[in-house]
Structure 1
Amino acid sequence: MSQTILSLKEITVFQEKNPILTDVNLEVTNGDFIYLIGKTGAGKSSFLKTLYADLFLTEGEGNIVGYDLRNLKEKDIPYLRRKLGVVFQDFKLLPDRNVKQNLLFVLKATGWTATEEMNVKIDEVLDKVGMKNYQSKMPHQLSGGEQQRIAIARALLNDPELILADEPTGNLDPQTSVEVMEVLRKINSTGKTIIMATHDYALLLKFPAKTLKFDGGKVFEVVQRTV
């Protein structure tokens, strides 16, 4: 029996006081991989921000990894975010620290204290993205694809139940995009749930999965044609 990780019922997503998505219903179960597509400004990023409580849910019902988004307290947000891994288009690595220090920063910020446990965890997540030998590299010494792999490793540090990826291949060339996508699909194949916003329709054809289109303030599922 698949476990529901995200349940949205009749939610409205606001940007400031303007509703940009209305009547959104979605059920996501453990192990799903879901694409979000649509034009720039269609609401994909705002939708993801609502899921990790950067924007508050004020209309409808939303439950994510056991947290009620509608009644979420400020003090609970850090705990919610520990159960989510978020990957951004622009990597968001700290430029003044090497790869290991970037990952240590996140572990310490989320309550880890034992040095040996932190080192083991860093080895483990870097191994998953094929970057185990890059711990002493500075971000500027890495290609865009390598930086994004580190960003994915960072998202895995607290063993999240759900990974939210906002245009993770948006700054990458087509070949590197495929390589990063292969990393994400491999992570998904281990049972991790991933929701990914993208403009890269070539990836949808190469790696088909459930696809939600954002258009005209609504969200609906797209049935992909198989060749």
Structure 2
Amino acid sequence: MNAPTLVIGATGTTGRRVVAGLIAEGHSVKAAGRSATPVEGAEAVRFDWNEPATFGAALDGVDRVYLIPPIGSSDPAAVMLPFLRRARSAGVHRAVLLSSSAIPAGGPAVGQVHQVLPGLFEQWAVLRPSWFMQNFAGFTPPRAQHPRGRRHPDGHGRRPRRVRRRGGHRRRRRTCPDRRAGPRRRPDPDRSAGAELRRRRRDHHRGRRPARRAPASDVRPAA
């Protein structure tokens, strides 16, 4: 039977998927965590980066280890390197470290651990992802529902109104999500007169003969 693989952070975002994948392929797994949470198909073992007394039971009989850096540590190399040296002395020959695409080998934080791995283990690998799609799986941001049943992509629940501009172009005007349609305003006679004057000037510049419109007082019904 193959020696078990130690998976640190076995109940986390990546650790539980690593455990499930190893078990599916027939490997024996030690699921390590601070609370030793039982994991189906794996041996639960307590492990804490800040408690060296938990290292012995976790490393007993394993030959491979999946490493999750300590969360919230300002200097993870100072915490991880003593464990890695002890793991090498215990017979571990392969180590896989979860790092980040923003941290190169020899860089700050986990970059120091990345730089040391080749000198400690015969087989090693460093995973440097940028994002985990699993962080967004199972969570959908709430989207407001418009009273008429329409949804807006940004979640406000109202679609921005389209306003036609001169030249046939359109632009979108934002509307406040909490705004309610109020009573319609009555037309302003002064503004209507100004619009008529602008129309006449525009027709004059375009070479058109302005059409005379009879005022409402001059219009008489047919006999």
- Whichever structure has more strand as a proportion of its residues is 1
Q: Which has the higher contact order (CA 8 A, sep 6+)?
A: 1
**TM > 0.5 fold call:** no
**TM-score between both structures, scaled by the size of structure 2:** 0.33
User: Radius of gyration: which is bigger?
Assistant: 2
**TM-score between both structures, scaled by the size of structure 1:** 0.32
